[in-house]
Structure 1
Amino acid sequence: MNTSQERDSFQDAFIKNFICVALGIIINHINGVFVYTFCKNAVFYSNSRYILYIHLVTNDMIMLSVTVGLHVVSYAVPFMQVSLCCFLLLLGNMTAKNAPLNLAGMAIERYIAVCKPLHHPQICTVKRTYILICLIWMASTIPALADVFIIIAIKPLSFFNSNTLCILWDIFGTQQHRDRATVVEIIFMLFVWLTLFYTYFMILHIAKNASTDQASAKKAQNTILLHGAQLLFSMLSYIAPFIDMYLVPLFPKSRSNILFTTFLLSHILPRLLSPLIYGIRDQQFVKYIKSYFSYKYEHSSSVKPY
C-alpha cells in the first residue's frame, strides 16, 4: 500500500487511485467470469481440479478487493479504527498465504492424476477437496490469530478503539510479530517449493515411462512449471519491502512513484495470472465461456427495438 499520500498532489493521487481501481475492476471482472462459469455448469462441481482452481480465483478476488480498498482508503481516510484495520489487514494477509498453499494443493492433485491415475478418483474426491480448502484457511488463520493475541498481550484493549494509519507494520510491527512472520513465511515457502519440485520431478520421471499418457504428463509438467512461475510472482509481495528500502534512498524524490510501482507489481498484477495461466489454457472452461458469451450476443441481437 502506498503510504506516502501526503507527498502526492491531488492529480497524482487521483491518477494512482484510478489506475488501482480500474485494474481491480478489470481483473475481478475477468476472474468473476470464471467463477460465474463454474457456478453455472455442474460439470465442474465433481472435479477437484476445478474446485481448487475456482477457490484460487475467489481468493485472489478477495485479496484484490481488500488491497485496492485499503489503498484508496489510505488516501481518502488515512486514519482508521484499529479493530477494523486489523480485520482488513489480516484478511488480506490470510488470502496472500492461501494462494501459494492452494498452488501446492493443485500441484499434488496433478501429481496424483498422472502418477496414480487409478487411485485419483478415490483420493481426490469432492469432500476431500473441500477439507483441503478448509485446512488451507486454517493454516492461514492461525498466524493471523497469533498476531492478534500478541497485540492483546502487549497493548491495552483500548488500543483497538483508537485510530491509526492502516499500515501492516504500524499495527503488527513489534519484534514478536516480525519473528513470527519470518518463521511462518519460511515454513510456508519451503513447504510449497518442496511440493512443487517433488511433484514436477516425479511427473517428469513417470513421463519417461512408455506406458504413461505422454500428452497428459507433459501438460501436467507445464502446469506445475506455471505454478512455480505464479509462485514467484506471488513472492513479489515478500520482497517488495526490500526493493522499496533499496530504491527509495537512491531516488528519494521518486519515493511515491517507487512505492506505487512496487505496489502494482506485487499486489495487483499477479492477481491476473490465475485466469491467464489456467482458465485460458483449459479447453473445457474456454468452451463454456465461449458458449456463454455467444448466447448473450445472440440474445442481445435478437432483441429488436420498437
Structure 2
Amino acid sequence: METANASIFYSNLTTETIITSKTLEVIVISLLLLMMVGACIFFCLAVTMLYIIFSSLDVHHNPRYILFAFMLISDSLYLMLCFTMYILAMRSQTILMPLCCAIYTVSSATFIATQYHLAAMSLECYIAICFPLRHCVICTPRRAMLVVVTIWVWSTIPYAVELVVINVTLKDPSNMQVICFTSRLLVNSVQPVIRLLSFILCFTFVGLSILFSYIKIMSVALSKNSKTSSASKAGKTVLIHGVQLFLCICSLLSNFTEIGLGKYFQVLTICSFIIFNYVPRFLSPLIYGVRDADLRRHIRKHLSLPQKIGFLMDNHVLHR
C-alpha cells in the first residue's frame, strides 16, 4: 500500500514538474518574442532619429543632438549584442573565445558609454540654462565630438585591460570554444576588481553630474517662478536622465537577486533585462522625440512627406 502511494506521489510529482517546465518554456518564449518586438521598435525609432539628426543641418550642428545621436548608436549596439549573447547562451551554442571577448568588450563598453552620455547631456542642459549667453561658445559641435570620442575611449579602457589579463592568464585562448556568458570570461581574480572600480567610478561621476545639473537648473527655474520656463523643462529632462541611471544601476544589482532561484533563473533574467535595460533606452527617444520641439517638428515633417507624395501622385493620376 505504501509502495502504491509512493508511486502515485512520484507520478503526480513528475506530471506537475512536466507541466511547470512547459509553462516556464512558454513564458520564456513569450518574453523572448517581447524582447524581439521591443528591439525592432527601438531600432526603428533610433534609425528615424539618426536619419533626422544627420540629414537636417540645423539639428546636425547642435551639440545636444550630436551627443544624443551617439548615445542612440551606443544603445543600439548594446541591445543587439546582449540579445545575441543571450540567445547563444540559452541554446548552449559555443563560439570562439576571441569572438566572445569581442562581443563582451563592445557590449560592456557601450553600457558604460551610455551612462557618460547621460552625464554629458545633463551638463549641456545645465550650461544652456545657467549660462545661456556663453552656451554657443562653450558647447560647440567640435567639442561635442571631442566629448564623444573621450567617452568611448574611456569606456573601452577597463575592458581592454581585461582582454590583456585574459590573454596573459589563458596563454593561448584563440582556439578555445566557450558558451558566451560573462561569468565564463572570469579567469583571473583581478577582473572583478577592474569591473567593480569601473562601475563605481562611472556611476559616481554620472550620478553627481546629474544631481549637480538638476539642482542648478531647478534653482534657476524657481528663481524665475515659472513652471513653463525652459529651465523647468530642462530640469525634468535631467530628472528623467536620473531615472535612466537608476534603472541601469538596478540592472547590476539585479544579478544578486537571481542567486538561488533555480528553474526560475531564465524568466527572472529576461524580466530584469527588459525592465532595467530596455526601459531606460526607450526613454531616450521619447525624451528627445516627443518632448523636444525641434526634433518633434522634424519628425512631423518626415512623417507627412509620404502623405504629401501620395496626395500629389493621386492628383496627377486624376488630371491625366
Of 212, 215, 219, the match for 2:233: 219
Q: Describe the shift of the 1:275–1:173 C-alpha distance in structure 2 as closer, same or farther (beyond 3 A).
A: farther
Q: In structure 2, do the counterparts of structure 1 residues 242 and 204 end up closer, same or farther at CA, with 3 Å as the change threshold?
A: same
Paired position in structure 1 for 2:302: 292
Which stretch shows the higher mean deviation, 100-109 or 275-284?
275-284
Task: Report the counterpart of residue 135 of structure 2 in structure 1.
Answer: 120
Deviations 1:182-226 (A, max 9, x none): 111111111111111111112233334459997121112111111
Given the alignment, which residue of 161, 167, 176 partners 1:146?
Answer: 161
Q: What TM-score does the superposition give when structure 1 sets the normalisation length?
A: 0.88
> Which one-letter code corresponds to 1:286 in the other structure?
R
Query: Are residues 1:280 and 2:290 paired?
Result: yes
Question: Equivalent residue of 1:277, what SS?
Answer: helix
Contact 1:67–1:267 under 8 Å retained in 2: no
Identity across the alignment (%)? 24
Q: Contact (CA 8 Å) 1:13, 1:75: kept in 2 or not?
A: no
Please tell me the residue identity of whatever aligns with 2:217: I
2:95 partner SS: strand
Aligned to 2:34: 19
Indicate which of 88, 101, 110 corresponds to 1:95: 110
Instruction: State whether structure 2 residue 274 is matched by structure 1 residue 264.
Output: yes
Q: 1:82 to 1:40 in 2, by over 3 A?
A: same
Q: Which moved more, 1:61-70 or 1:197-206?
A: 197-206
Matched with 1:4 is none
Listed as ranges, the matches of 1:59-78 within 5 Å are 59-76=74-91, 78=93
Contact kept? 2:32, 2:270, Cα under 8 Å: no
Q: Pick the aligned partner of 2:151 from 136, 156, 179.
A: 136
Look up the match of 2:196: 182
- Of 253-262 and 147-156, deviating more is 253-262
Matched-pair contact (CA < 8 Å) for 2:78–2:106: yes
The residue aligned with 2:101 is 86
Aligned AA for 2:133? L
The question of 1:167 aligning with 2:181 is answered yes
Larger relative contact order, structure 1 or 2 (CA cutoff 8 Å, min sep 6): 1
More displaced stretch, 161-170 vs 203-212: 203-212
Match for residue 219 of structure 2 among 197, 205, 208: 205
SS at 2:61 equivalent: coil
Q: Which amino acid aligns with 2:130?
A: C
Between 89-98 and 229-238, report the one with greater CA deviation: 229-238
Q: Provide the C-alpha distance between the structure 2 equivalents of 1:80 and 1:126, rounded to a whole number of angstroms.
A: 41
In structure 1, stretches of 5+ residues that fail to align are 1-6
Please say if residues 230 and 273 of structure 1, whose CA atoms lie closer than 8 Å, have aligned partners that are also in contact: yes
Given that 2:113 and 2:155 are in contact with CA atoms closer than 8 Å, whether structure 1 keeps it comes out as yes
CA distance in 1, matches of 2:313, 2:186: 56
> SS at the partner of 1:174?
coil
Q: Quick check: 1:244–1:262 contact (8 Å CA) kept in 2? A: no
- Give, in whole Å, the separation in 1 of the partners of 2:76 and 2:220: 35
What SS is found at the alignment partner of 1:117?
coil
Identify which of 247, 272, 277 aligns with 1:233.
247
Is 2:78–2:110's contact at 8 Å kept on the other side of the alignment? yes
- Structure 2 unaligned blocks of 5 or more: 1-20
1:252-306 residue CA offsets vs partner (Å, 9 max, x unmatched):
3423212221222233333211111222100111111111111112323544599
Query: What is the CA deviation profile of residues 160-203 of structure 1, one whole-angstrom value per residue up to 9, with x for unaligned ones?
Result: 32100101121135321101111111111111111111111122
Query: Which amino acid in 2 is paired with 1:227?
Result: H
Alignment-mate amino acid for residue 279 of structure 2: L
Q: Secondary structure at the match of 1:273?
A: helix
What's the CA shift for 1:74? 2.5
Q: CA RMSD in A?
A: 2.5
Q: For 1:134, give the aligned amino acid.
A: V
Task: Tell me how far apart the structure 1 counterparts of residues 254 and 188 of structure 2 sit (CA, whole Å).
Answer: 20
Question: CA offsets, 1:71-126, max 9 Å, x none?
Answer: 22334462111100110111100000011100100111111111111111111011
